[in-house]
Amino acid sequence: MIGGKRLEQCKKNTLIVIGLAIFLMIAIVISFRLGRYPISTKEVLGILLSKIYPIEPFWTDRMEIVMLNIRLPRIILACLVGCCLSAAGAAYQGIFQNPMAAPDILGASAGAAFGAALAILYYGSPFMITVSAFFFSLLTVSLVYLVSKKVKGKSVLGLILAGIIVSSLFSAGTSFIKLVADPTDQLPAITYWLMGSLSGARVSDVKFAIIPMVIGLIPLLLLRWRMNVLTMGDDEAMTMGVDANKVRFIVIVCATLTTASSVSVSGMIGWVGLVIPHLTRKLVGNNYSYLMPATMLFGAIFLLMVDNVSRTLLATEIPLGILTAFIGAPFFIYLITRERETY
């Protein structure tokens, strides 16, 4: 009887994952259509298929330029960033056994913000901003890990405390840079970057971010069942032959790669890594075998839809961080007042 229910739940979860993948494909096609320059579904599919098969063009050159050079990089980045932030959030919530854990718990976002502000202050080029944000994001988490090794007691608590301390230092550095930045151009650029946006998405951003994103996401998918074991605690993991510290280190490295690469190209986009894993648990439960792929797909869909709203709702584009906060803050209130769940 129990085995039958478990098999039925597995089938249901598999269908949910497949359904999310199909919905993502539909959302991508719809996203190509949205914008101030209208492109029909037929033209969208024609332009995409023309890159695979020779098709007689029934669209204008301007349509192809708008779709491939402007909308395509933005859509790819929205999907990748949403996927990575959600996966990192789900991973951290599992290995730390903390439902409030988010991708920035170890200071990756604070380090990226400092790196981006520093690059805007001294260089100003988009490429240097991306590289600097990525480098300082990795540097911050590395410092957090080194500091946590000096903390006596539980390693998980040491990591979280070190993350708070180092994040505060880099946040103070960002505030100081904003204080000395030129208020006419540098300060607005820093402020806008901190609010998060994909308005300046370029093909070069995709090429820069996709490699560390994939390197980080693949191990997170492969370590799904070990994350299930870690949610039961280190002692239980040890009895099952799983080295909890080793697995936790690998997961932290991979989640840091995905978070750093995401923040470096999109800016500070909060709440995605906190909200999406919890919403996905309502669909597929706590089994990471299904939770991780479903969270990745759900995160990609969520951020893609939010980005569509940000660029079409008003005449001026709304930063993504503002929209995700409007959604995430009410959910956070629900989260801290709901009944306790198992992670």
- 165: pLDDT confidence band, cut at 50, 70 and 90? very high
pLDDT at 280 over 60: yes
Measure the CA dihedral 216/302/310/45, to 10°. 90
The SS3 call for residue 273 is helix
Closest CA to 115 of 190, 207, 34, 196: 190
Segment 285-328, tens digit of pLDDT = 888 999 999 999 999 999 999 999 998 888 788 899 999 988 87
Residue 38 has pLDDT above 60, yes or no: yes
Instruction: List the domain boundaries for the chain.
Output: 2-337
Q: How does the average pLDDT of the chain come out, rounded?
A: 88
Mean pLDDT, range 143-152, rounded to an integer: 86
Are residues 266 and 192 in contact, defined by beta-carbon separation less than 8 angstroms? no
Q: For the segment 230-270, what is each residue's pLDDT rounded down to a tens digit?
A: 877 777 777 877 788 888 899 999 999 999 999 999 999 98
The conformation of residue 22, written as its DSSP 8-state character, comes to H
Residue 26 pLDDT greater than 90, yes or no: yes
**Torsion region of 196: left, alpha or beta (phi above 0 gives left; psi -120 to 50 gives alpha):** left
Q: What is the CA radius of gyration of the chain?
A: 21
Residue 1 has pLDDT above 60, yes or no: no
pLDDT score at 148: 87
pLDDT at 343 over 80: no
DSSP 210-241: HHHHHHHHHHHHHTHHHHHHHTT-HHHHHHTT
Say if residue 153's pLDDT is above 70.
no
Give the span between the Cα atoms of 121 and 332, in whole angstroms: 34
Check residues 280 and 99 and name the one with the higher pLDDT: 280
Predicted local distance difference test score (pLDDT) of residue 99: 81
Q: Which two tokens stand for residue 177?
A: 């840079």
pLDDT in tens, 185-206: 899 999 999 999 998 888 999 9
* Six token digits for residue 5: 């229910």
| Cα–Cα distance, 38 to 23 (Å, whole number) | 22
Q: What is the pTM of this model?
A: 0.91
Tokens of 30: 């719809």
Closest CA to 272 of 238, 303, 226: 303
Question: What is d(CA 207, CA 78) in angstroms, rounded to the nearest whole number?
Answer: 14
Would you identify the CATH topology of the domain 2-337?
A: ABC transporter involved in vitamin B12 uptake, BtuC (1.10.3470)
Q: Is the pLDDT of residue 61 over 70?
A: yes
